[in-house]
Structure 1
């Protein structure tokens, strides 16, 4: 399963790759300004074949949070959960920078897709050596467990996404236990985005599925070239070592470590040589890491999109006219400037959360619903009964129009977005108080809906963003916690992926997304650029658009 995952707004994290940071002397912006399109064909992750990696060495990076929910199939998971999960669990499919699927022969010896009686059927043949760490064979029942927990038919499960799995009619045993036959209702164009990970059948019990992985990673239910050496969320550390039970290509690294750090600490740790790679996606961070001896800067497009969420379940924001006015008050071009100032990069505001601006089928649907118009926002608030008080803040029935924005972490860009948004809202008579919390509180804030306004991100895990439209917009969505998704839109949203051609799906998705934006619960802002400072020689890690790889392919390039 690869679906969209939440991220903290200012942090960029590539699956299986790097993380946060900064510290140094500001580079001058010279030459043409980069865009996602201009960087698309430029390799910025030092692609190297397995044979070019040396044996040994360590890799240490930072994460904004060691997320409590370690089951990536469950709804409370984050991108940070997935970064950790992929280092010790089966990873069946990865993607090239151009978005082509790559099947891992250590797990799959054959994948066959065909159309039978108008239905997509996929047959997965599993490597006979494939075994979980507890000795359980990896067989067709793992595919069945993934389907049963994620198809949405049993309300006892809280899956991260039902998209795609809800259209499977059966998962059956093939020629033997080492073959899984997956049959869909009708055509599924994006089937390669499914079953990229597996879940151990022992986790199929709903209580275990929902709660059993919280701060408990279950290394015995994993499989792969690495296994857990240490999992210490209290002190913010996860360490992996080579897995003695692994049957495939061995990992090149001796150990792989994640440390929980906010931005400033991660920058300093990189400069001091304690981290091997760090994200530098703000001008201050980039300035601080540029020129550190023995390092290089890698830059490229990402699959991360930032967005505002308005909590429609909070008293003031329960009024859709107030939510509409707030969205009309926010200048997304200014938000983009906060992100890209000093980075020699430019991007238009994102008009979709379904597809990124550089993807085929992208349409700016958000502008059909909301445009930056403070004067219209003032009129909307007038109509909703909020009148301007003596200090410029609006009031209604003795209550001030006062809301809380929660900002996670010490990232300078995140603070600029928070402060800039507060100023924009004050201009129309809304007082927005900023509550600052550490990035380690990210999951708690989101899952508990402890905010009026929250700025965060989602990251696609594969090239098939349109495949996850229901995860974004259906009324039971747990990804966007606005609480105002309209059940009346569900049938339209769910119809998108039933259509037989990409072009028909793109058109229907634009219609469905327009309806979803009209709930006034969220606002896409910008598709982020990925800029990383890494120690020279780190291979298969950085900014690679759709690129992902399995853990044994990450390590240090041979010298000479």
Structure 2
């Protein structure tokens, strides 16, 4: 699962890394022959013009779970797989290139211009050919409905992330029916991330429509593909070209998404049943690097692995305890084990907003990112959690320092090994970790969203717009936790991020994000681990698909070579 792409995205732990329970030391076994992580903007998609592709064919892709909520802006729909389907079936005004730079999609937009005085105003000129599947033309009403639903003023809408939308003052028609004017009450630097996907007003104009209309279906679409079928028994979603599509017709006849756990997906690929599979684990890479009819594609993306700490109650409500856990986890050891058997290195992350090979990156972890068991033990002593000896957990006021690390039942052996390594590391400072497995379908909505955990290990991916991480670190408001599942925040972080997202000067914004990042480390919001490499095995002959760097896949261009 995954909360995604520059627009927050989380991925469940089972998709992470190969680990062995004995790999707790970063010393020894280091393979210096591994290449460094690909540089900023590196991509590998076998890019080919449409003339080199045959017309027709099927692409079968594995997904992590059956989609039940198809509205990406809904708190239960903000998943990587939902993002993929929505950007194939709903309007995306901008797409990102390999370096994460947004580009206009001319199928929907003729132009988008911005003025900043006296207030920031974005004027969108819509493609007159762009129409919803119910026959209506795209209009300012769709923009206005999305702003009202996602902007955060009405808590009846269960939104995942209002950032950016909450800075809009007004949406209205421009010079004619094909022009939209969006006026901001506060500047917003990443305005291009808004309204992508754009959703139809008729399915967004009330809290009931926003939530119920998208459960198990796509009520209205306007993309190159449409949803043809949902087979919950077989665990498949099938998309086919949209007959009324006004743009370049997709090369493929159909795209099938098939629900498979990681081990099953690997075997399905080797058996020729799916066309793509993750190869970013030592076990998978070993089986795939020389597999028949297989191409391994490697690139650089925004992809991080971390441990979220729940500060809403219990021992982790104390920042000193959270800081102690940060220092008790051997991050270099985990990164080294994650890299075992892979052709690229896995670097530690010292930043929550920028990847190590991305402009703006600075290591702000300080002492909170250094493995130091003595400092961790001392911090727990000072916080009143005293050793009981005999391998027992520390205690305070008659309560033991026992925490729950919640895992999805979809977690395979590799993800379980990661959790067990963390369990062993924390045991050394007297913190007992109970690993609890929960149903995969409930992991997000009933555990992460509800805060029913102490520790949780997962990924955020695709956050190339730094403002899209705002929802992860801002303080919850009212009944909304946004993407801040651990409920850890501060007025200082909110103030710095509020200034950063509204700073139009890129270098000045980077300085503000880095100042906020240092505060996030100090708060003990989480234990940031490492930057995950992108290694994908695909069927030979598949074109315009693979690792797109910091960009997006255009599924209308994906196809099979002649």
TM-score normalised by L of structure 1: 0.90
Stretch moving more, 272-281 or 513-522: 513-522
Q: Does 1:360 align with 2:364?
A: no
C-alpha distance in 1 between matches for 2:329 and 2:189: 36
C-alpha distance in 1 between matches for 2:247 and 2:102: 19
How far the C-alpha of 1:258 sits from its partner, in A, is: 0.9
C-alpha distance in 1 between matches for 2:306 and 2:233: 29
Where does residue 444 of structure 2 map in the other structure? 443
C-alpha distance in 2 between matches for 1:553 and 1:374: 52
Equivalence map 1:65-84=2 (5 Å): 65-76=65-76, 77-84=78-85
Q: Deviations over 1:351-370 (max 9, x none)?
A: 12212222211122233644
How far the C-alpha of 1:508 sits from its partner, in A, is: 1.5
Q: Aligned to 1:5, which of 9, 30, 33?
A: 9
Stretch moving more, 467-476 or 278-287: 467-476
Q: Deviations over 1:302-336 (max 9, x none)?
A: 21111111122342322322222112111111121
How far the C-alpha of 1:225 sits from its partner, in A, is: 1.7
C-alpha distance in 2 between matches for 1:186 and 1:482: 28
How far the C-alpha of 1:214 sits from its partner, in A, is: 5.6
Judge conservation of contact 2:472–2:485 (CA < 8 Å) in 1: no
Where does residue 25 of structure 1 map in the other structure? none
Secondary structure of 1:274's aligned partner: coil
How far the C-alpha of 1:532 sits from its partner, in A, is: 0.9
Judge conservation of contact 2:364–2:517 (CA < 8 Å) in 1: yes
Q: Unpaired runs of 5+ in structure 1?
A: 13-19, 22-27
C-alpha distance in 2 between matches for 1:10 and 1:125: 43
How far the C-alpha of 1:450 sits from its partner, in A, is: 3.0
Q: Does 1:414 align with 2:415?
A: yes
Where does residue 507 of structure 2 map in the other structure? 503
Q: Does 1:114 align with 2:118?
A: no
C-alpha distance in 1 between matches for 2:275 and 2:439: 23
Secondary structure of 1:87's aligned partner: helix
Q: Does 1:381 align with 2:380?
A: yes
Where does residue 248 of structure 1 map in the other structure? 247
Q: Does 1:87 align with 2:88?
A: yes
Where does residue 397 of structure 1 map in the other structure? 397
Q: Pick closer, same or farther for the CA change 1:448–1:116 going to 2, 3 Å.
A: closer
Q: Does 1:452 align with 2:454?
A: yes
Stretch moving more, 186-195 or 526-535: 186-195
Q: Pick closer, same or farther for the CA change 1:87–1:44 going to 2, 3 Å.
A: same
Secondary structure of 2:144's aligned partner: helix
Q: Pick closer, same or farther for the CA change 1:339–1:118 going to 2, 3 Å.
A: farther
C-alpha distance in 2 between matches for 1:438 and 1:536: 35
Where does residue 283 of structure 1 map in the other structure? 282
Q: How many residues align?
A: 540
How far the C-alpha of 1:264 sits from its partner, in A, is: 0.6
Judge conservation of contact 2:315–2:321 (CA < 8 Å) in 1: yes
C-alpha distance in 1 between matches for 2:209 and 2:491: 26
Q: Deviations over 1:139-196 (max 9, x none)?
A: 1211222222222233333332222222222222112111112233465432222222
C-alpha distance in 1 between matches for 2:455 and 2:33: 36
C-alpha distance in 1 between matches for 2:66 and 2:103: 28
How far the C-alpha of 1:10 sits from its partner, in A, is: 4.6
C-alpha distance in 2 between matches for 1:53 and 1:157: 43
How far the C-alpha of 1:554 sits from its partner, in A, is: 1.5
C-alpha distance in 1 between matches for 2:225 and 2:282: 35
Judge conservation of contact 2:223–2:245 (CA < 8 Å) in 1: yes
C-alpha distance in 1 between matches for 2:380 and 2:261: 37
C-alpha distance in 2 between matches for 1:5 and 1:480: 12
Judge conservation of contact 2:250–2:557 (CA < 8 Å) in 1: yes
C-alpha distance in 1 between matches for 2:523 and 2:304: 19
C-alpha distance in 1 between matches for 2:93 and 2:112: 14
Judge conservation of contact 2:323–2:368 (CA < 8 Å) in 1: no
Q: Does 1:261 align with 2:260?
A: yes
Equivalence map 1:336-375=2 (5 Å): 336-367=335-366, 369-375=368-374
C-alpha distance in 2 between matches for 1:141 and 1:285: 48
Where does residue 526 of structure 2 map in the other structure? 522
Judge conservation of contact 1:2–1:194 (CA < 8 Å) in 2: no
Judge conservation of contact 1:284–1:412 (CA < 8 Å) in 2: no
Where does residue 149 of structure 2 map in the other structure? 149
How far the C-alpha of 1:201 sits from its partner, in A, is: 0.3
Where does residue 327 of structure 1 map in the other structure? 326
Secondary structure of 1:175's aligned partner: coil
Q: Does 1:493 align with 2:497?
A: yes
Q: Does 1:103 align with 2:133?
A: no
Q: Unpaired runs of 5+ in structure 2?
A: 19-28
Where does residue 16 of structure 1 map in the other structure? none
Where does residue 17 of structure 1 map in the other structure? none
Secondary structure of 2:71's aligned partner: coil
Q: Does 1:548 align with 2:547?
A: no
Q: Pick closer, same or farther for the CA change 1:47–1:441 going to 2, 3 Å.
A: farther
Where does residue 316 of structure 1 map in the other structure? 315
How far the C-alpha of 1:528 sits from its partner, in A, is: 0.8
Where does residue 25 of structure 2 map in the other structure? none
How far the C-alpha of 1:435 sits from its partner, in A, is: 2.2
Q: Pick closer, same or farther for the CA change 1:148–1:231 going to 2, 3 Å.
A: same
C-alpha distance in 2 between matches for 1:103 and 1:53: 25
Where does residue 26 of structure 2 map in the other structure? none
Judge conservation of contact 2:203–2:210 (CA < 8 Å) in 1: no
C-alpha distance in 2 between matches for 1:454 and 1:551: 32
C-alpha distance in 1 between matches for 2:530 and 2:113: 35
Q: Pick closer, same or farther for the CA change 1:420–1:194 going to 2, 3 Å.
A: same
Moved beyond 6 Å, runs of 4+? 28-31
Equivalence map 1:453-492=2 (5 Å): 453-460=455-462, 463-465=464-466, 467-476=467-476, 477-487=481-491, 489-492=493-496
Q: Does 1:536 align with 2:540?
A: yes
Q: Pick closer, same or farther for the CA change 1:9–1:119 going to 2, 3 Å.
A: farther
Q: Pick closer, same or farther for the CA change 1:540–1:82 going to 2, 3 Å.
A: same
C-alpha distance in 1 between matches for 2:337 and 2:214: 35
Q: Does 1:429 align with 2:450?
A: no
Secondary structure of 2:15's aligned partner: coil
| Root mean square deviation, CA, Å | 2.5
